[in-house]
């Protein structure tokens, strides 16, 4: 089917473009004397969420709100239940104290804030619910606070990034091609996803939480899986948690600022909240502050159950 082929091509373009953008921008920043710390916390961290951002910007511009919010929430669910489940099978994931008590609770707070800000009908008795432009600005404010906190932590503990300098011309080409690729890949994916939903009679929400969410989570899967394989388990789980925070506070807020997002599916939002609560709670069961292999298996089973439910009911 042409739409599926185009979606796959779009994901390849999207992910490779994000890599080029990060590599080129990091090298240019290094040439201007910007530290590895700042580069790692901004450019590199942004790179893993660039696919979600590109898809959501085009979805918002096309007023495909279901696609926009389901992509973010579906990615967050996949990051926790699928990616951490796979990583835990590779190696037991020992989680840093800061991640347990600060980053994971912040990622949980982010999705709870989406529930509170977006559910106008429940919270205020309004006739409809939506994540408005004002809500988007509020979420973006939380993102700025998160970045400020991250800089403070990294100054004390370091961030482990080392940036390789390449030629200035090559860096500029990488940045330009990366930006164009993100735009082109994002447009292909959104257009093809909408076409697929129409052709098969599927809801935009279902396509968003399955096809798009999995595809845009591939960078996190690659990065966290490799970190777990190399024994850097804290980076494996930290990358996922950081990506979830970026997805809600940066990607979703940007989408809402471009075009308000009606909130019609509390099931997926509830699952995103539940996954975050489960991740936090399970770190105190059995081996403290460790995600074990059997717990990873539990995550994968829950993800399979959720996707099965989505296929039947969403």
DSSP 91: S
User: 233 and 94 in contact (C-beta within 8 Å)?
Assistant: yes
The partner residues of 130 in beta bridges, in order of sequence, read 262
Q: What is the pLDDT of residue 38?
A: 61
Residues of the chain with pLDDT under 50: none
> What pLDDT, on the 0 to 100 scale, is given for residue 107?
93
- Residue 12 makes CB contacts below 8 A (sequence gap 6+) with 185
Token couple for 153: 């932590």
Euclidean distance between CA atoms 282 and 302, whole angstroms: 14
Burial tier of 186 (Cβ tally within 10 Å: 0-12, 13-18, 19+): buried
Beta bridge partner(s), residue 94: 290
What is the C-alpha to C-alpha distance for residues 287 and 308, in angstroms, rounded to an integer?
30
> What was the pLDDT predicted at 41?
55
| Predicted local distance difference test score (pLDDT) of residue 297 | 95
Q: Give the model's pLDDT for residue 31.
A: 79
User: How confident is the model over 210-268, as pLDDT tens digits?
Assistant: 989 988 888 878 878 888 888 877 778 888 888 899 999 999 999 999 999 998 778 99
pLDDT the model gives residue 94: 87
Alpha carbon distance 21, 180 (integer Å) = 10
3-class secondary structure, 77: helix
Number of domains in the chain: 1
Q: The whole model's pTM is what?
A: 0.89
- Residue 38 belongs to a domain with what CATH number? 1.20.1420.30
Domain holding 118, by residue range, is 2-313
**Beta-carbon-side half-sphere exposure of residue 195 (alpha carbons within 13 Å):** 13
pLDDT value of residue 239:
80
């Amino acid at each position: 089917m042409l739409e599926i082929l185009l979606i796959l091509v779009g994901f390849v373009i999207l992910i490779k473009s994000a890599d080029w953008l990060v590599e080129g921008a990091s090298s240019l920043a290094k040439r201007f004397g910007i530290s590895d710390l700042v580069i790692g916390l901004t450019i590199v961290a942004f790179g893993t969420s660039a696919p979600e951002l590109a898809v959501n910007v085009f979805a918002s511009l096309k007023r495909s709100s279901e696609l926009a919010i389901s992509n973010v929430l579906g990615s967050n669910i996949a990051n926790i239940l699928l990616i951490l489940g796979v990583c835990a099978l590779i190696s037991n994931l020992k989680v840093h104290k800061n991640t347990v008590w600060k980053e994971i609770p912040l990622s949980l707070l982010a999705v709870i804030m989406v529930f509170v800000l977006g559910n106008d009908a429940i919270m205020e008795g309004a006739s409809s619910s939506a994540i408005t432009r004002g809500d988007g600005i509020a979420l973006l404010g939380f993102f700025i606070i998160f970045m400020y906190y991250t800089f403070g932590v990294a100054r004390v503990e370091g961030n482990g990034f080392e940036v390789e300098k390449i030629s200035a011309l090559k860096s500029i080409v990488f940045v330009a091609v990366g930006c164009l690729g993100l735009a082109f890949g994002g447009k292909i994916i959104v257009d093809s996803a909408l076409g697929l939903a129409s052709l098969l009679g599927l809801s935009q929400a279902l396509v968003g939480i399955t096809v798009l969410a999995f595809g845009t989570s591939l960078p996190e899967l690659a990065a966290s899986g490799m970190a777990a394989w190399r024994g850097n388990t804290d980076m494996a789980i930290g990358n996922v948690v950081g990506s979830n925070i970026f997805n809600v506070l940066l990607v979703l807020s940007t989408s809402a600022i471009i075009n308000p997002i009606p909130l019609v599916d509390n099931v997926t939002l509830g699952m995103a909240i539940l996954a975050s609560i489960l991740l936090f709670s399970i770190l105190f069961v059995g081996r403290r502050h460790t995600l074990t292999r059997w717990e990873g298996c539990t995550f994968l089973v829950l993800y399979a159950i959720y996707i099965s439910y989505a296929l039947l009911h969403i």
